[in-house]
């Protein structure tokens, strides 16, 4: 029984959808191993770090797999675990801080910027900032960021050395859509994020009787602690090549002919498959860094389901800002002097009609359309209608559509 199967067996009595447990286990493996192992892709080295987002309606058990993965990784004492409510700037500061502390062998020294980002509610994880998704997208690609710099006027320059991030978060589909800017759907963040969606419990269990398999964080985390010491390069087995190469060729042909996926998930599916194949091998035997055909086939099946989730939750019914919230912002600016308003004034004038998250999402949507400009003056955020929006506004007045 490999390590993922052990986690699945230990949590069998939980009502949580089984796929949520499996992806939580994969995320825990990723958080521990990703900074230390890789597959040479000739032009870049692919690390098995993954961004995973669990989607389900409230009450379906999203919190348990997230807390499970957090507990397992924390117990292994091998990487930063960043949870709770954070600004993107505080996260960067944390990732750039050298860590020294206790672990199973005495001390842990983190001179690089590895980290496990984890949250039971994605909408609250990163205090809303349109730049957060851009930065998380950039930091996902470990092979492009040997040294990553973040410079702000008030905070100076933060330098991240070899950043390697794994993320596991959960959300309801409604909250997820509310906090996600339009640009992040088509701009790369979603293409890098594995969306795991379920709408039914795995079972109904009042949890009166104790399970046959004892659930022990200590026992399960021992494997992760040992895994954290493994370093090296993955190699291809003959069977791995035989399964991956024909699938890859057909996948590329199919992907180039299909323009329906605007999230970028399909275009990055090959790397997703290889990352998951590496993690599946690490769950089975971390002393053998080999990509096998069996693991590639399983990874393909898991990742193709992810692609369906992206289309189901974002392309057919998703939206980043409702028309009502955009309308509130536009109308406020049309009524303001010089078509300009401070953020605080807009919030006070529209109390009860729009909250901070809805305002941020609407502003980001209008900025993407070229309708709005954002600037800071005397430590206050201001919004101003752009020339494009003003021109449309006056043309509608002339046509009698606006009084």
How do the domains of the chain map onto residue ranges?
A: 3-235, 323-398
Mean pLDDT of 267-280: 94
Do residues 23 and 196 touch, judged by C-beta distance below 8 A? Answer: yes
Residue 147's beta-bridge partner residues? 161
Task: Write down the pLDDT at residue 315.
Answer: 46
What's the chain's average pLDDT? 84
Query: How confident is residue 260, by pLDDT bands cut at 50, 70 and 90?
Result: low
Mean pLDDT is lowest, of 3-17, 21-35, 247-261, 288-302, for 247-261
Task: Write down the pLDDT at residue 320.
Answer: 44
Provide the token pair at 197. 């969606």
Mean pLDDT of 18-25: 96
Right CATH for 3-235 from 3.40.1350, 1.10.10, 3.40.50, 1.10.405 = 3.40.50
* Burial class of residue 248 in the structure, from the number of CB atoms within 10 Å of its CB (0-12 exposed, 13-18 middle, 19+ buried): middle
Closest CA to 265 of 319, 198, 315: 315
Look at residue 367 and tell me whether its pLDDT is greater than 90.
no
Find all residues with CB under 8 Å of 336, minimum gap 6, and list them.
none
Look at residue 150 and tell me whether its pLDDT is greater than 80.
no
Query: How confident is residue 311, by pLDDT bands cut at 50, 70 and 90?
Result: low
When mean pLDDT is compared over 142-156, 221-235, 370-384, the highest value belongs to 221-235
Task: Write down the pLDDT at residue 318.
Answer: 42
Look at residue 397 and tell me whether its pLDDT is greater than 80.
no
Do residues 389 and 372 touch, judged by C-beta distance below 8 A? Answer: yes
- Residue pLDDT, tens place only, 291-306: 999 999 999 999 988 8
Eight-class DSSP state of 309: H
Do residues 137 and 181 touch, judged by C-beta distance below 8 A? Answer: no
Query: How confident is residue 396, by pLDDT bands cut at 50, 70 and 90?
Result: low
Find all residues with CB under 8 Å of 205, minimum gap 6, and list them.
13, 14, 15
Mean pLDDT of 340-361: 80
* pLDDT top residue among 309 and 320: 309
* Burial class of residue 174 in the structure, from the number of CB atoms within 10 Å of its CB (0-12 exposed, 13-18 middle, 19+ buried): exposed
Closest CA to 71 of 85, 81, 59: 81
Mean pLDDT of 312-325: 55
SS3 content of the chain, % helix, strand, coil (to 5): 50, 20, 30
Q: How many C-beta atoms lie closer than 10 Å to residue 211's C-beta?
A: 14
* pLDDT top residue among 312 and 219: 219
- Residue pLDDT, tens place only, 164-173: 999 999 988 7
Q: In 237-345, where do the E strands start and end?
A: 290-291, 340-342
Q: How many C-beta atoms lie closer than 10 Å to residue 403's C-beta?
A: 5
Eight-class DSSP state of 2: -
Mean pLDDT of 157-186: 80
Sign of CA dihedral 356, 358, 361, 366: negative
Phi/psi for 40 (5° steps) reads -75, 115
Query: How confident is residue 108, by pLDDT bands cut at 50, 70 and 90?
Result: low
Find all residues with CB under 8 Å of 249, minimum gap 6, and list them.
none
Find all residues with CB under 8 Å of 254, minimum gap 6, and list them.
none
Closest CA to 11 of 79, 80, 65: 65
Do residues 132 and 181 touch, judged by C-beta distance below 8 A? Answer: no
Query: How confident is residue 252, by pLDDT bands cut at 50, 70 and 90?
Result: confident
> How far lies 45's CA from each of 25, 35, 335, 399, in Å?
23, 11, 53, 58
Using only C-alpha atoms, what is the Rg of the chain? 23
Do residues 36 and 83 touch, judged by C-beta distance below 8 A? Answer: no
On the CB side of 213, CA atoms within 13 Å amount to 14
| pTM for this predicted structure | 0.75
323-398 belongs to CATH 3.40.50.300: no
Closest CA to 302 of 332, 328, 319, 279: 279
Task: Write down the pLDDT at residue 172.
Answer: 83
- Do strands 193-197 and 45-46 pair parallel, antiparallel, or not at all (unpaired)? unpaired
Look at residue 402 and tell me whether its pLDDT is greater than 70.
no
């Amino acid at each position: 029984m490999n390590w993922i199967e052990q986690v699945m067996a230990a949590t069998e009595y939980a009502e949580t959808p089984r796929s949520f447990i499996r992806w939580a286990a994969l995320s825990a493996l990723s958080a521990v191993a990703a900074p230390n192992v890789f597959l040479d892709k000739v032009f870049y080295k692919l690390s098995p770090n993954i961004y995973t987002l669990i989607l389900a309606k409230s009450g379906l058990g999203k919190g348990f797999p997230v807390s499970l993965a957090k507990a397992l990784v924390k117990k292994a004492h091998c990487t930063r675990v960043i949870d709770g409510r954070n600004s993107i700037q505080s996260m960067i500061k944390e990732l750039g801080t050298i860590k020294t502390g206790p672990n199973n062998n005495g001390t842990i020294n983190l001179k690089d910027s590895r980290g496990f980002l984890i949250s039971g509610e994605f909408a609250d994880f990163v205090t809303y900032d349109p730049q957060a998704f851009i930065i998380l997208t950039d930091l996902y690609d470990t092979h492009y960021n040997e040294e990553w710099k973040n410079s702000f006027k008030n905070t100076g320059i933060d330098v991240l050395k070899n950043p390697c991030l794994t993320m596991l978060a959960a959300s309801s589909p409604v909250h997820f859509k509310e906090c996600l800017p339009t640009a992040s759907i088509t701009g790369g963040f979603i293409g890098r994020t594995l969306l795991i969606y379920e709408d039914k419990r795995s079972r109904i269990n009042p949890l009166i009787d104790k399970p046959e398999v004892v659930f022990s964080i200590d026992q399960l985390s021992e494997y992760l602690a040992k895994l954290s010491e493994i370093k090296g390069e993955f190699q291809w087995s003959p069977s791995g090549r035989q399964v991956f190469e024909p699938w890859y060729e057909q996948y590329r042909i199919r992907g180039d002919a299909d323009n329906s996926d605007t999230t970028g998930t399909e275009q990055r599916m090959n790397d997703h498959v290889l990352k998951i194949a590496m993690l599946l091998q690490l769950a089975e035997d971390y002393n053998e860094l080999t990509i096998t055909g069996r693991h590639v086939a399983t990874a393909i099946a898991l990742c193709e389901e992810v692609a369906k989730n992206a289309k189901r939750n974002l392309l057919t019914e998703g939206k980043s800002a409702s028309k009502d919230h955009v309308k509130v912002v536009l109308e406020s600016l049309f009524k303001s002097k010089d078509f300009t308003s401070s953020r605080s004034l807009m919030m006070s004038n529209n109390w009860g009609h729009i909250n901070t998250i809805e305002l941020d999402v609407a502003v980001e949507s209008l900025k993407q359309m070229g309708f709005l400009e954002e600037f800071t003056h005397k430590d206050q955020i201001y919004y101003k209608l752009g020339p494009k929006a003003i021109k449309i506004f006056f043309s509608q007045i002339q046509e009698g559509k606006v009084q």
